[in-house]
Every structure is written in structure tokens, then in C-alpha cells.
Amino acid sequence: MKLGCMQTLQVVKKVEFGVYLAQEPNSDARERVLLPKKQVPQGIGVGDTVEVFLYRDSKDRLIATTTRPLITLDQIAVLTVKEIGKIGAFLDWGLEKDLFLPYKEMTRKVQEGDEILVRLYIDKSNRLCASTKGLYEHLSTNAPYAVGDEVEGRVYEFGHDFGTFLAIDDRYSAMLPKHEDTSHLRLGDVITVEVTGIKEDGKLDVSMRKKAYLQMDEDAQKILDIIDSYAGVLPFTEKASPEIIFRETGLSKAAFKRAVGRLYKERQITIHDGRIRRVSSEKG
């Protein structure tokens, strides 16, 4: 009998509160599992077989159910966070007992109502738990998309030095580059991105940014708004380090330089003494 899997077992004993199932008709008590009465299909008897899922109940006892959960062992699925507890979160996976997601298995903290991508594993105590880690290996790399396609991806991990990892269609592996600002994103967010490249191993490179000539308008306005927040004078220019530019504006150095160049040509700003000043102190 396999914990966390759908399997076909045989009815070996009927009792008042349900039926006991096993792989073999002569199995002893330790090799049997209870299917509670309310789960027992009508008319079933000893010797009949039934397809069930095995998990542990609230008292940590092995139990069977005819209900197919939203996720099975070593698979991934999108589940909803139902409750946040002291040691983790509890997810709705379609069974009476919610699925536990320990804090140590979260790549970022979650909130009630979040829809997050997780995998199902067996912990050291032989209990089924969810994890937002290790999803990378479970995602497919044969996405049917080409460079330039617009797709939807769900955030499943913030990769720090590498970028932000997405599951396109909750199925295919993709990554946003680290220079794109993802500070507004949360675990489970679904965003529209453009495929910018396909690696040799089939993984997708994607971007939230539009084509340069479209994105520049938004970037230029963003810089004007930031200058206004600095009372009309930005204390650095495009010669600042990429780290400073990204921290203060959320733009890569190249994008910042393009937008500043446009604003300068349009005479909306001046650049002098390591500062950028807005020609008009008024917005718009």
C-alpha cells in the first residue's frame, strides 16, 4: 500500500464503521487500512476491489478515501491556502483534512486565499506535506511556444541571483531575468509575460517588459515621477552603478539610460553635476 497514491485494494473485512482494505485477502491487521462507512460504495462486499487514496487522518492513522485529491505524491498542483497557523499553512487539496505546508518548505510566506504551486512529499514523520521548493524538477521543458509569444506564468520561486521562476500554464519552466523588478509580486501571482528566448534544454526566458519602443514611454514617465518624489532633483545619473539605479528605480541600467536619453532630447530634464533635474517642477 502506497501513502499518497491512488491504488486499487480489496475489501477483506466489513465492520459497522466501514470496511478494511488490503492488497491480499489473507493480509493481517497491520497490512489493512480502513475505508470509513460514509466512503464505502453502495453494495460493495468482501472480495470486491475499490480504488482509493491513502493518507493520514487527524489522529495520524493511515486512512483510505474514494475521493481523488487535487494532488498526489511527487506531483505538482495549484492549491488554495485556507489557513495560516503557527508552524505553517494549511491548503485545500479536496480532502476533509487539509494539507500541511510547513514554513520551512515555503520559498516566501503566503496568505489565506493565495493560489500557489506546490508538490506533495512524505516528511521524516511519514506524513504527507506540501512544499513550494523543488518544483523546478517537476516542470516540463517542451513548451509549445516561440519567441515573441505572450503567455501566462505563475510565480513559484524568487531566485535571488538568478531571477524569478515562473511556471507557464502551471506546467512549463521559465525564468524572468534578475534585472526586472519583481518586488511587487507575491508567490502564486499569475502574470502575462513575453517569451524572449528558448534555452537548449527547452526552458523559457521571459520578460514582463514590452518591446523597447513601447516600454520606453512607461520608463520615461516612471523616471519623471521618481524625480518629483525627490523634489525635482534626482541625485544620480545614468553613470551611477547598476545596483543604485535598480534599487531606486526598478530599471536596468540600459533601460534607465534609454529613458533618460529620451527625456533629455525632449528637454524635459537637464543633467549637470551628477544630478538630473526636471525642467518643470510640475507633474505632467
> What residue ranges do the domains of the chain occupy?
6-65, 76-131, 139-207, 212-278
pLDDT tens for 73-87 read: 999 999 999 999 999
Q: Mind listing the pLDDT tens digit of every residue in the chain (284 residues)?
A: 899 999 999 999 999 999 999 988 887 777 889 999 998 998 888 989 999 999 998 888 899 999 999 999 999 999 999 999 999 999 999 998 999 999 999 988 999 999 999 999 999 988 999 999 999 889 998 888 998 888 999 999 987 678 899 999 999 999 998 888 888 889 999 988 989 999 888 889 999 876 555 677 888 888 999 999 988 899 998 888 888 888 888 887 778 888 898 898 888 999 988 899 998 644 44
pLDDT tens for 138-160 read: 999 888 899 888 899 999 998 76
CA-CA-CA-CA dihedral for 142, 143, 145, 149, to nearest 10: -140
Question: Which CATH number is associated with domain 6-65?
Answer: 2.40.50.140
What angle do the packed helices 253-265 and 242-249 form, to 10 degrees? 70
The answer to whether the 6-65 and 212-278 domains have the same CATH topology is: no
> What is the DSSP-derived secondary structure letter of residue 271?
E
Q: Write the Ramachandran bin of 238: left for phi over 0, alpha for psi from -120 to 50, otherwise beta.
A: alpha
Q: What is the DSSP string of 38-66?
A: GGSPTT--TT-EEEEEEEE-TTS-EEEES
How many angstroms separate the CA atoms of 154 and 190, rounded? 4
Nearest to 6 by CA among 91, 83, 67, 79: 67
Domain with residues 212-278, CATH architecture = Orthogonal Bundle (1.10)
Q: How many residues does the chain have?
A: 284
Residues whose CB is less than 8 angstroms from the CB of residue 125 and which lie 6 or more positions away in sequence, other chains included: none
> What is the DSSP-derived secondary structure letter of residue 166?
E
Question: Which CATH number is associated with domain 76-131?
Answer: 2.40.50.140
User: Domain 139-207: which CATH class?
Assistant: mainly beta
